[in-house]
A and B are shown apart, each in its own frame.
Chain A
Amino acid sequence: MINPAYKDKMVVVEGSYAVAHSAKTCHPNVISAYPITPQTHIVENLAQFIADGEIPNCEYLNVESEFSAISSLIGAAAVGARTYSATTSQGLLLMHEALFNASGMRFPIIMTIANRAVSAPINIWNDHQDSISQRDTGWIQLYVEDVQEASDTLPQIYKIAEDNEIMLPGMVCMDGFILSHVYEPVVLLEQNLVDNFLPSFHPENMLDPEDPKTFGAFATPDTYEEFRYLQEQAMQKALPKIEAVAKEFEEVFGRFHGGLVDGYMIEDAEIVIMSMGSVLGTVKDVVDQYRAKGEKIGVLKVRSFRPFPKEQIIESIQNAHAVVVLDKNISIGTNEGALFSETKSCLYNSKVRIPLVGYTLGHGGRDIRIESIVKVIEGTKAAAKAGIMVESQFLDLKEELL
């Protein structure tokens, strides 16, 4: 959230510009991108920075597809380069195969995802289906609430991903259009502070003719399972690291957007609304209205979706009377969004027994209005009192179109 204390340092810029600026201050060595729809101004701005000589020791690869974009970054990361790209929607889907290669070879490649819906039908607007569909690829996924957080999370995720105990690729997921195209006040990251915060990248393992190694080679049933286990172990190590790095960031920059999760008005909340991304801003405005009437409603922002912060979620919601999860995605065939399913799953073997309901909403850019959030809260209050009537449902369906 925007802290009024930083107002004198802020400028009004487009979200994509702020993110490009942030990427620049992280001093990537290779940026690769495919410049066609769907893309964002992030890579356009970075191309400009490079053309203007503003990013030292960095190569910009203008490749012929998103598949090439991620593949070229894998090659660059293999020789120890710090790498960056940005993509969205179908572009991310085209990368899918190679995302497993990046995580399997343990390259801390970083991307910003401007979350958008996927085809068909063709739709260019925002939801989270593109990145949620990559949840099993072994990438860290952090979801952000506003432009400042989108910008501030980049140096954080480099620091997390490049930790020698972790070495996993990561995505910062920001809502397409809603955050990528908005103009709002933001503190552009100061180079000297980023230099203090983010050490340069020196991987223990890299391709080097002096010290030959092989990455991503053949693994038989004798060894493959251990590779998967170690990836999972690295993800578990990322859990405390994400929290620690968020605090280190606060020490250097004075801003904190949450670690794995972040509560708002949650301490005494009877109803808790859980979600990820920019919709949390609208939700918080509605919660303020309820609080003004004396109703104990709170918010749990889930910042890290991978790794999934089970303990922190259970701890945050255990005293609520009911919890509602808002998902801008759906796993078709479950009638549930991913955050709802996983939250429900992590409660099963805990001692926490509270009604948990889910709404899947905002598909393909359908606007999430204040009235919609009010409807969600009222439905959850009813579930807290009388038990769950409908466990998970679409919000704001237009019955007349069905």
Chain B
Amino acid sequence: MKEIRIHGRGGQGSVTAAELLSVAAFKDGKFSQAFPAFGVERRGAPVQAFTRISNNPIRLRSQIYTPDYVIVQDATLLETVDVANGIKDDGVIIVNTTEKPESLKINTTATVMTADATKVAMDIIGRPIVNTVLLGAFAGATDEIKVGSIQHAIKARFPGKIGEKNADAILKAYELIRVRV
């Protein structure tokens, strides 16, 4: 079983990202489970969402404490949130930033990768919607999920032009990070 924690701010679509990841994983033939860090969500406040992916049906209902992967939607969270908390030593943290991984102050033995998801989103979608774009980066960085399945999930969730543009941005983010893996 692989466990993924998504950090974002209220309004950035962390829960939607966790949901899309679970839908895509299921399309890949895995079992999946997605849930928010149940809280009183406010726009702009730090929030978390979780996804589990497994070859077997998932019964575990506790929160995720030792994730295999962490996705950080907003690099300003690094100042206040310990995004590496509990991550496995061989885990991967993907941060949306223009910076290089080595210039980020994350205290961890896990691998840190960066993706400029905001730029990809602005170029292709025309708005800074990074939650879906980062799922493309996740697929590229980890091979846990097929990028086509994420594209399929987003197009099913948001039919029409919005879904198409998101799917294009997901592929772009996938390709950008793929060459660095």
Contact = CB atoms under 8 A, between A and B. Distances in A.
Given A125-B38, A182-B33, A282 B59 contact: yes
Given A125-B38, A182-B35, A370-B62, A4 B26 contact: no
A1 B57 contact: yes
A281 B33 CA distance: 13
Interface string A192-222: 0000000000000000000000000000000
Given A125-B38, A365-B38, A12 B61 contact: no
Given A1-B57, A124-B40, A282 B62 contact: yes
A59 to B, nearest CB: 31
A185 B35 contact: no
B62 A182 contact: no
A183 B38 contact: no
A191 to B, nearest CB: 22
Nearest to A183: B34
Given A124-B40, A183-B35, A184-B33, A12 B62 contact: no
B146 to A, nearest CB: 15
Interface in A251-280: 278-280
A98 interface: no
Give the size category of A's interface with B: 20 to 34
B78 to A, nearest CB: 25
A281 B26 contact: no
Interface residues of B, number: 22
B22 A184 contact: yes
Contact of A369 (B19, B58, B65): B65
A284 interface: yes
Interface string B128-162: 00000000000000000000000000000000000
B32 A12 contact: yes
Contacts of B40: 124
Nearest to B26: A12
A2 B18 CA distance: 20
A281 B38 contact: no
A183 B62 contact: no
A249 to B, nearest CB: 19
Q: Which of A10, A14, A184, A282: most chain B Cβ within 10 A?
A: A184
Q: Which of B33, B62, B65: most chain A Cβ within 10 A?
A: B62
Given A183-B33, A184-B32, A369-B65, A285 B60 contact: yes
B36 interface: yes
B63 interface: yes
A181 B38 CA distance: 9
A6 B115 CA distance: 38
A12 B60 contact: no
Nearest to A15: B35
B23 interface: yes
Interface string B93-136: 00000000000000000000000000000000000000000000
Nearest to B57: A2
Interface string A162-206: 000000000000010110011111000000000000000000000
B40 to A, nearest CB: 7
A14 B35 CA distance: 9
A367 interface: yes
Contact of A4 (B32, B35, B57, B62): B57
B63 A182 contact: no
A17 to B, nearest CB: 11
Contacts of A182: 33-35
A183 B22 contact: yes
Interface in A275-296: 278-282, 284-285
Contacts of A126: 38
Contacts of B62: 282, 367-370
A3 B31 CA distance: 11
Contacts of A11: 26
A184 B36 contact: no
Contacts of B59: 1-2, 146, 280-282, 284-285
Contacts of A280: 59
Nearest to B18: A183
21 contacts: A2-B57, A10-B26, A12-B19, A12-B22, A12-B26, A12-B32, A125-B38, A146-B59, A177-B36, A177-B38, A181-B38, A182-B34, A182-B35, A184-B22, A184-B58, A185-B31, A281-B58, A282-B60, A285-B60, A368-B62, A370-B62
The 8 closest A-B pairs by CB, nearest first: A281-B59, A2-B57, A183-B34, A177-B38, A182-B35, A12-B23, A184-B33, A278-B61
Given A185-B26, A281-B61, A282-B60, 19 more contacts: A1-B59, A10-B26, A11-B26, A12-B26, A14-B19, A146-B59, A178-B35, A181-B36, A183-B32, A184-B32, A184-B33, A184-B58, A185-B31, A185-B32, A281-B60, A282-B59, A282-B61, A285-B60, A369-B65
